[in-house]
Chains A and B, each alone.
Chain A
């Protein structure tokens, strides 16, 4: 597993690379709070042609964007979920098997529900403030 080291200035290139090289459209972002998961996901959404990232206020669980072709791109944040039942209650399965781009933060919280072919992306902060990403 190759590690990509990057700083915030290089985020656009990293976003393109993840989109181009990931083997699947369900991406699981692992990393501590503040490591930059949301920032990377927003950069990736921009690359997909998402123009408007507002207007989907759903308690942070899922933000639904539209790419340049009008197709949905889903951005999940399961940080506040306590168990998988809560995710089932919101109908997460429909999203997980939709075939659309899925960017998922805190996937550990719904580990048992995730599709087998989901791509794990690991992010960590380095001593010098740069980030290391591997998938």
Chain B
């Protein structure tokens, strides 16, 4: 007993062992999850308490300034520079200390390997140091489970439902039969839908990222002004690379007669492009709903902000009896809160990872 008071090393061990075991068994207690997402461009960290988001932070220059600036010689890559300040800020905003954490969840894939490695190594080290469980999360599953974050003040889908994840990096239709019982039933064979928007915008001379600009101009244009061919792809898969080429040829052809063709018809061109892209998505979604008999549709990914897609989903509600779900925008783009809710759901199922877990550039749902 004297050891508990005198030596810090001895004092720590029994205390940690005592807190570690009850946290796993007493699920009705407060479960704090620290979540880390670093699959692509952004480094993000979040803290959740029992499925509720206490903080959800994406690395920005401001965070670096508050933290004392970037130390370039310590890190050559953005994620390495971001990870410590972002986690620090997330804990501060949640107003908890790292010792209160119950587990650490992190994106292990899919994504850019170099980016994933930063989050993975950080999560593993911190979990080891704090002597708490580690939970690996599939980024694509997390996009779908973002619908189950508690504080959104809206209905959650019930199983089974169809999830369509649409962003700059992904285009997938997934059948979800349970939190961790998901099947990809359709996905893009080339460009993602967000890329299709951005590359089309580039052809029109709009700045990157041009997707939101196309949406803005499209609202004032005539979607029937010009017709673009829709790709013929079997089953529920998507293809967007052909559309880019046909837009290019279309613009080139008209510029021969009128060099300022794009400027003269920008709104109509944008509306027609958006109409075509939305139709490509909706055709497959309708087909998926018909084939599976499922009419609950959950949308995720940054492109879910597109007004054309939102309108089409509303129409689907009236016409096909769909019930559609879109999370808050901050939970649709790449974010750590969705990793946190997935981590929490895995925590409830005692689904932990060992220290041998690795980052995976390819990671199927």
Binding site for B on A (CB under 8 A): 33-34, 38-39, 42, 53-62, 64, 66, 79-80, 82, 88-92, 94
Within 8 Å of chain A (Cβ to Cβ): is B37?
no
- Whether the Cβ atoms of A57 and B110 lie closer than 8 Å is yes
With both beta carbons as reference points, the residue of chain A lying nearest to B194 in the complex is identified as: A59
CB distance from A80 to the nearest CB of B (A): 6
Residues of A with C-beta under 8 A to B172: 57
With both beta carbons as reference points, the residue of chain A lying nearest to B165 in the complex is identified as: A57
- Give the residue of A38, A55, A61 whose beta carbon is less than 8 angstroms from that of B190: A38
- Whether the Cβ atoms of B199 and A56 lie closer than 8 Å is no
Within 8 Å of chain A (Cβ to Cβ): is B126?
no
Residue-wise, chain B 189-212 has the 8 Å CB interface mask toward A (1 for contact) of 111101100110011000011000
- Give the residue of A33, A42, A59 whose beta carbon is less than 8 angstroms from that of B199: A33
* Distance, CA A128 to CA B127, complexed state (A): 62
Answer whether A57 and B192 are a contact pair too, CB < 8 Å, given A80-B198, A80-B208.
Answer: yes
Within 8 Å of chain A (Cβ to Cβ): is B41?
yes
Interface size on B, residues (CB 8 A): 43
* Distance, CA A57 to CA B303, complexed state (A): 15
* Distance, CA A71 to CA B189, complexed state (A): 20
* Distance, CA A54 to CA B199, complexed state (A): 19
- Give the residue of A58, A79, A82 whose beta carbon is less than 8 angstroms from that of B40: A58
Answer whether A55 and B249 are a contact pair too, CB < 8 Å, given A61-B112, A79-B199, A91-B113.
Answer: no
Residue-wise, chain B 62-84 has the 8 Å CB interface mask toward A (1 for contact) of 00000000000000111100000
With both beta carbons as reference points, the residue of chain A lying nearest to B170 in the complex is identified as: A57
* Distance, CA A58 to CA B359, complexed state (A): 14
- Whether the Cβ atoms of A60 and B191 lie closer than 8 Å is yes
Residue-wise, chain B 156-177 has the 8 Å CB interface mask toward A (1 for contact) of 0000000000001111100000
- Whether the Cβ atoms of B110 and A56 lie closer than 8 Å is yes
Can you pick out 12 interface pairs between chain A and chain B where the beta carbons lie within 8 Å of each other?
Answer: A53-B189, A55-B187, A55-B364, A56-B110, A59-B168, A59-B194, A59-B195, A60-B195, A61-B112, A62-B112, A64-B361, A94-B114
- Whether the Cβ atoms of B110 and A88 lie closer than 8 Å is no
- Give the residue of A38, A54, A80, A92 whose beta carbon is less than 8 angstroms from that of B187: A54
Within 8 Å of chain A (Cβ to Cβ): is B147?
no
Residues of B with C-beta under 8 A to A62: 112
Within 8 Å of chain A (Cβ to Cβ): is B315?
no
CB distance from B23 to the nearest CB of A (A): 35
CB distance from A101 to the nearest CB of B (A): 15
With both beta carbons as reference points, the residue of chain B lying nearest to A64 in the complex is identified as: B361
Answer whether A91 and B187 are a contact pair too, CB < 8 Å, given A33-B248, A55-B362, A58-B169.
Answer: no
Answer whether A54 and B189 are a contact pair too, CB < 8 Å, given A33-B199, A80-B208.
Answer: yes
Residues of A with C-beta under 8 A to B295: none
* Distance, CA A34 to CA B253, complexed state (A): 14
CB distance from A71 to the nearest CB of B (A): 13
- Give the residue of A34, A57, A94 whose beta carbon is less than 8 angstroms from that of B244: A34
* Distance, CA A66 to CA B360, complexed state (A): 13
* Distance, CA A94 to CA B118, complexed state (A): 14
* Distance, CA A59 to CA B76, complexed state (A): 21
Residues of A with C-beta under 8 A to B188: 54, 57
Within 8 Å of chain A (Cβ to Cβ): is B245?
yes
Residue-wise, chain B 136-168 has the 8 Å CB interface mask toward A (1 for contact) of 000010000000000000000000000000001
* Distance, CA A92 to CA B111, complexed state (A): 13
Residues of B with C-beta under 8 A to A39: 241
Residues of B with C-beta under 8 A to A80: 198, 208-209
CB distance from A19 to the nearest CB of B (A): 20
Residues of B with C-beta under 8 A to A88: 76-77
Within 8 Å of chain A (Cβ to Cβ): is B115?
yes
- Whether the Cβ atoms of B198 and A89 lie closer than 8 Å is no
Residues of A with C-beta under 8 A to B111: 58
- Give the residue of B114, B208, B245, B248 whose beta carbon is less than 8 angstroms from that of A91: B114
